[in-house]
Amino acid sequence: MNKKELFENIKRKRSFLCVGLDTDIKKIPEHLLGEEDPIFAFNKEIIDATADLCVAYKPNLAFYESLGVTGWIAFEKTVKYIKEKYPDQFIIADAKRGDIGNTSEMYARSFFEHLDIDSVTVAPYMGEDSVKPFLVYPDRWVIVLALTSNKGSHDFQLTEDKNGERLFEKVLRKSQTWATQDQMMFVVGATQGKLFEDIRKVAPDHFLLVPGVGAQGGSLEDVAKYGMNDMCGLLVNSSRAIIYADKTENFSKAAREEAEKVQKAMNELLTEKGI
């Protein structure tokens, strides 16, 4: 999916919501545990209940890997299900990969060739040649970690160099020399509040993937206030607050209600921005 198509979906659905599929076998409703593939059964219901309210799904690889092969089967089935039934959804493999060139090539092969996914999150620590192998696929996106939503983001990402440039700013600046804004997004945590202004100084036009709204406590209003641009430029993710809104047989209905609340707020924010 390219940038224009993504923006069209946002305008049509009045939403820039990404639903995070952090599906944990220990947290899904009990009645699903008897299913042949409980993880996929859960995802399928969540997806069917929310697909008209969001523009993206973000399966978090860790949750699938924690079950080994069984988890990977559920992950692949989930991706295939979204692609076939809801081809207008932007799929993000939240994998935070990154390695030397020949190894990143293999990760790119996994996500873009084997699974035909739109985008993958990538850690920047290893620099240019760890990111570039992901950039040879047309209309596929690399989403580089810039300023994450967690407390540990303060450990290294805010370190200032001799010229006063912070590491996340250097990542934003340097990585823009590796790809256009039609192939690259950045991860910026919703919990970072006013720092979004600093992000937009360095990367005014890029799409940002914003986790941290919901269970992590970030404010959607602040994110929109400081981060939204003329093409929206935001994919705001919510995982736990939506998918675990209820743990009974009613779970997908409750997930829909939560997603609907977010979508309504997003509709207003888009309108305020004139989108």
Token pair for residue 22? 């952090």
Compute the least distance from the CB of residue 160 to a copy of itself, in Å.
6
Compute the least distance from the CB of residue 215 to a copy of itself, in Å.
9
Nearest to a copy of itself of 215, 254 (CB atom): 215
Token pair for residue 33? 């545990």
Phi, psi for 59 (deg, rounded to 5) = -70, 135
The residues of the shown chain that bind a copy of itself, judged by CB under 8 A, are 22, 24, 60, 62-63, 65-69, 71-73, 76, 94, 96-104, 106-107, 109-110, 113-115, 123-131, 145, 148-157, 159-162, 167, 170-171, 174, 211, 216
Nearest to a copy of itself of 100, 268 (CB atom): 100
Instruction: Indicate if 151 belongs to the active site.
Output: no
Close Cβ partners of 160 (under 8 Å, ≥ 6 residues apart): 166
Phi, psi for 233 (deg, rounded to 5) = 70, 15
Compute the least distance from the CB of residue 137 to a copy of itself, in Å.
14
Nearest to a copy of itself of 73, 231 (CB atom): 73
Phi, psi for 232 (deg, rounded to 5) = 75, -60
- What's the CA gap between 170 and 174, in Å, rounded? 6
Nearest to a copy of itself of 67, 254 (CB atom): 67
Compute the least distance from the CB of residue 90 to a copy of itself, in Å.
20
Compute the least distance from the CB of residue 58 to a copy of itself, in Å.
12
Nearest to a copy of itself of 25, 231 (CB atom): 25
Rg (CA), the chain: 18
- Which of the residues 96, 132, 225, 273 is marked catalytic? 96
Q: Is the dihedral of CA 101, 134, 74, 63 positive or negative?
A: positive
CA nearest neighbour of 115 among 74, 143, 55: 74
Compute the least distance from the CB of residue 18 to a copy of itself, in Å.
15
Q: Is 221 exposed, middle or buried (0-12, 13-18, 19+ CB in 10 A)?
A: exposed
Nearest to a copy of itself of 22, 118 (CB atom): 22
75 close to 64: Cβ distance less than 8 angstroms: yes
DSSP state of 118: S
- What's the CA gap between 162 and 56, in Å, rounded? 39
86 close to 54: Cβ distance less than 8 angstroms: no
Query: Which positions are annotated as active-site residues?
Result: 96
